[in-house]
Structure 1
Amino acid sequence: MKENISTIPLMDAFHADDECPFCYLEREAEQHAVSFILGSAYMEDDIRAKTDATGFCRHHYKMMYDYGNRLGSAWILSTHLKKINEELHKEISNFTPGKSSFANRFKKTDSSAKANTSLGAWLEKRESSCYVCDHFRSIYDRYLDTFFDLYKKNDEFRELFRKSKGFCLPHFRDLIEAAEIRLGDEQKKDFYPVVFSMMEENMKRLQEEVTWFVDKNDYRNKDKDWGNSQDSIQRCMQKCAGGYPADPVFKMKP
């Protein structure tokens, strides 16, 4: 299989020798989306219509703020808040309190429960809506499909995969769920032992590296080599939850 526009990003991600190739792809996608929206795209009516409707999550608002284009962010927020305020007025106007009961007054508050009011449901939807997240979600499934296409047809990619450091736990979950759909029974017999061994081996490697970071801070080990442990904290965090906690702030180029 020759490399093409759909396979090159995935091949590049595996060549990067990262703790998780899908984290690598996610970072590329979100930085591209932030650069795009705060470049000149925020002046385009069709793009602004999308950002007005979806808004951004907390993480990507922070990325936008750090990026540095204050005027661009203000333009986006100006019309987005106009749309939110219109919707908020409608939701508040239509809000009807539920009937209280004596038993309900003794129930403990559970903020993790699903909303049981129309206003709460609207707010939940607003909180989970994000233009940048949607951008990655729109291509993520395609990356998973491309992964399995390459795995089944490309010897170079299979070798890259076998020599990789595995995946963060959230992306590992997605990979396993996709494998159940994309692989046949015989292919699963080959794939699962490899990826399971890879994950256990690399999770153990990280545990040993971060444990040595702790032990190295003991005065008795002060003259011993750090090995690969000095950046083990951020790599362990990535493996457990995804992302790059030690990344520098992503900023607009001067």
Structure 2
Amino acid sequence: MKETIATIPLMNAFHADDECPFCYLEREAEQHAISFILGSAYMEDDIRAKTDATGFCRHHFKMMYDYGNRLGNALILSTHLKKLNQELDDELAHFTPGKSSFIKRMKHTDVSSGNAPKTPLGAWIAAKTTDCYVCDHFHQIYGRYLDTFFDLYKKNEEFRALFEKSRGFCLPHFGDLIEAAEDKLTDDEKKEFYPKAFSMIQDNLDRLQKEVSWFVEKNDYRNKDKDWGTSADSIQRGMQKCAGGYPADEVFKAKL
């Protein structure tokens, strides 16, 4: 198969024999973004304007701190906080309390993540604490990866075989794949793809459940001399399968 700039990252991810190729791509994208902004990009006005406006989520703030370059982090934060304070002043100046009622006051406070903010201030804070320059970087290319996946799946037998022999996907990325399939595949193609994809997620979740179960059993003294098999690292792989990401990854730091 002739690889192109569009297909190489996806092919590399599938050849990595990972629990989820899209987790593999996401990790590469976020590490690239962290290295980029804390390399020299934080000194560029256009990049600082974007990070000032967007900010970072909790996860990527932690990655930035762990990466190093305290001065770079401080410079990024200094102008981001300046813009945040300006916007906050404006939000507070225009804040108007909503109407209350006895019934509302008697209800227990519901802080479920799916609830929409009740005030413009709450909506602003929700945006500021979820928007993220690094997340946006991956989301901008993630859609193209999904498009490329289905383009290769439909047109390339080699890739289709690679897909069918893979370990499948984590649950969040599997969900994205199924949602994308609704638009990218014809009705006839869906009849073929869905059974394969469903069998893949079921088989691989069952595989991991058995691996983790054997990890538990292996810690029984009666099994101390038996082979660990593939269960030794099953905890981190099981966590990845359930929620995505790499819980056992070493801290990502700048190369000195």
TM-score category (smaller protein) = over 0.9
Name the structure 1 match of 2:196: 194
Alpha-carbon offset, residue 191 of structure 1: 1.1
Alpha-carbon offset, residue 217 of structure 1: 0.4
2:18 equivalent to 1:15: no
Give the residue type in structure 1 aligned to 2:100.
Answer: S
Identity within the alignment, %: 76
1:238 equivalent among 237, 240, 246? 240
Structure 1 residues 32-51: aligned runs within 5 Å: 32-51=32-51
- CA offsets per residue over residues 67-110 of structure 1, 9 Å max, x none? 00111000000000000000000001111112332222201111
Alpha-carbon offset, residue 226 of structure 1: 0.3
TM-score, normalising length: structure 1 = 0.98
Name the structure 1 match of 2:79: 79
Return the alpha-carbon distance in structure 1 between the equivalents of residues 121 and 196 of structure 2: 48
Alpha-carbon offset, residue 111 of structure 1: 1.4
Name the structure 2 match of 1:94: 94
Return the alpha-carbon distance in structure 2 between the equivalents of residues 6 and 223 of structure 1: 48
Alpha-carbon offset, residue 193 of structure 1: 1.5
- CA offsets per residue over residues 41-72 of structure 1, 9 Å max, x none? 00000000000000000000000000001110
Return the alpha-carbon distance in structure 1 between the equivalents of residues 241 and 233 of structure 2: 13
Please give the secondary structure, in 2, of the residue aligned with 1:137: helix
Q: How many residues align?
A: 254
Return the alpha-carbon distance in structure 1 between the equivalents of residues 180 and 98 of structure 2: 41
1:209 equivalent among 205, 208, 211? 211
- CA offsets per residue over residues 144-175 of structure 1, 9 Å max, x none? 00000010111111111010000000000000
Of 198-207 and 103-112, more deviation after overlay is shown by 103-112
Of 78-87 and 148-157, more deviation after overlay is shown by 148-157
Return the alpha-carbon distance in structure 2 between the equivalents of residues 200 and 49 of structure 1: 45
Structure 1 residues 1-254: aligned runs within 5 Å: 2-112=2-112, 113-254=115-256
Please give the secondary structure, in 2, of the residue aligned with 1:212: helix
Return the alpha-carbon distance in structure 2 between the equivalents of residues 155 and 71 of structure 1: 50
TM-score, normalising length: structure 2 = 0.98
Q: Can you give the 5+ residue segments of structure 2 that lack an aligned partner in the other structure?
A: none
Return the alpha-carbon distance in structure 2 between the equivalents of residues 39 and 141 of structure 1: 26
Cα gap change, 1:189 to 1:100, in 2 (>3 Å): closer
Give the residue type in structure 2 aligned to 1:235.
Answer: R
When the two chains are superposed, the root-mean-square deviation of aligned CA atoms in Å is 0.8
Give the residue type in structure 1 aligned to 2:246.
Answer: Y
Runs of 4+ in 1 over 6 A off after TM superposition: none
